[in-house]
Structures are given as structure tokens and as C-alpha cells.
């Protein structure tokens, strides 16, 4: 990890491994079939890739919804693509402040949380454009599910307690 606040290629590889595990854990939690990620495509972005426009000072990540620019370019089964924007500076700062977790563990927590959102948007028709009150409730629900999915993974238990659903840091 570099002090300038951007993920290195090695960091990105670590997060890709965490994303792969988060996909499997989320899929199993919701009892979804193996094609769930084909039906619910998402992309990972970082601050370097999105610049300041999609960056939130008080979050580890956020979800963006990307619509195809032309109707003919749309996949019939997937009307939109979701993106997980990882806020490298915030994540790296949290890692510098703690000696009890690492990028893989924090990444697994963040990515599991965000993938739950994506599944809920797609499979359970949760409103992506919900009101702030509804979004707050959604955060509580998703944090509870994240806690349940990751329960018993020792480096994760500390992270779940540290970044509870009242904190803006998880989303």
C-alpha cells in the first residue's frame, strides 16, 4: 500500500480475492444459483478510476448504477450494471489506524456488505433510489446480514464490531 492513498496492483489482487469469497458467501446466504453474478453483474472501481465525482469522504465504498448509453447496447437480462466504488484513501487510512485487521479482512467485510446491496436491488427489488429514511433502514438490514454471513471469521468479527451499522464508514 502506498501512502498517497491509492491501491497498488497487489492491493487490487487482494481485493479481487476478497470479492471472489464475498460472492460465494453472499450467494450461499441467499441460496442463489451459480449464475447469480451473471444476472447481477458488477464492476469494482477505485478512487483513481472515478476521480472525485463519486468519492465520499465518510465511506469505505458506495454502489453506483450504470445504465447502458444506448438501448441496443443493453443486455436484455441486465438493464443496468452496478459498480462498487472502493474509496482507497479511506480504506488505507483505516488500515493505518489499526493493527488488528488487514486489507483482505477489511475488503471482505466491505465487499460482502456491498454485494448484499446488489443482490437486494436485483433479486429482492429494494429501491436503489430510496429515501434517506429507507436507506438508513436498508443499511441496518444489510449490516445485520453482513454480520450473519461473516460470523465466526476471527479477523472479521473485530471489524464488524468496529464498523457497526450506525457508522457512515460502511457505506
pLDDT digits (tens, 9 = 90+) for 12-58: 999 999 999 999 999 999 999 988 888 878 999 998 888 877 777 78
What is the domain range of residue 153? 9-170
Tell me if 3 is assigned to some domain.
no
- Report the C-alpha gap between 5 and 53 in whole angstroms: 16
Handedness of CA 124, 162, 155, 12 (dihedral sign): positive
pLDDT tens per residue across span 86-138: 999 999 998 988 777 689 999 999 999 999 999 999 999 999 999 999 999 99
Tell me if 4 is assigned to some domain.
no
The DSSP bridge partners found for residue 46 are 86
| Residue of 81, 4, 88 lying closest to 51 (CA atoms) | 88
Tell me if 1 is assigned to some domain.
no
Placement of cell 429494494 in the chain: 126
Q: Give me the pLDDT at residue 80, please.
A: 76
Tell me if 2 is assigned to some domain.
no
Total domains, the chain? 1
Tell me if 157 is assigned to some domain.
yes
Tell me if 95 is assigned to some domain.
yes
Q: Which H or E run contains 171?
A: none
Tell me if 104 is assigned to some domain.
yes
Per residue, the 3-state secondary structure of the chain, as one string, reads: CCCCCCCCHHHHHHHHHHHHHHHHHHHHHCCCCCCHHHHCCEEEEEHHHHCCCCCCCCCCEEEEEEECCCHHHCCCCCCEEEEEEECHHHHHHHHHHCCCCCHHHHHHHHHHHHHHHHHHHHHCCCCCCCCHHHHHHHHHHHHHHHHHHHCCCHHHHHHHHHCCCCCHHHC
Reading the block at residue 123, the C-alpha cell is: 433479486
Amino acid at each position: 500500500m502506498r501512502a498517497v492513498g491509492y491501491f497498488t496492483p497487489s492491493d487490487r489482487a487482494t481485493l479481487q480475492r476478497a470479492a471472489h469469497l464475498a460472492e460465494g458467501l453472499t450467494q450461499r446466504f441467499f441460496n442463489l444459483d451459480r449464475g447469480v453474478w451473471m444476472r447481477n453483474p458488477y464492476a469494482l472501481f477505485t478512487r483513481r478510476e472515478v476521480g472525485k465525482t463519486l468519492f465520499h469522504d465518510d465511506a469505505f465504498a458506495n454502489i453506483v448504477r450504470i445504465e447502458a448509453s444506448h438501448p441496443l447496447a443493453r443486455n436484455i437480462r441486465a438493464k443496468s450494471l452496478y459498480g462498487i466504488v472502493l474509496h482507497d484513501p479511506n480504506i488505507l487510512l483505516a488500515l493505518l489506524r489499526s493493527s488488528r485487521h488487514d486489507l483482505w479482512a477489511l475488503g471482505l467485510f466491505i465487499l460482502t456488505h456491498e454485494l448484499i446491496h446488489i443482490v437486494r436491488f436485483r433479486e429482492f427489488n429494494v429501491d436503489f433510489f430510496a429515501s434517506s429514511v429507507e436507506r438508513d433502514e436498508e443499511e441496518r438490514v444489510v449490516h445485520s446480514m453482513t454480520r450473519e454471513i461473516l460470523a465466526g471469521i476471527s479477523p472479521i468479527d473485530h471489524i464488524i464490531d468496529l464498523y457497526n451499522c450506525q457508522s457512515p464508514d460502511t457505506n
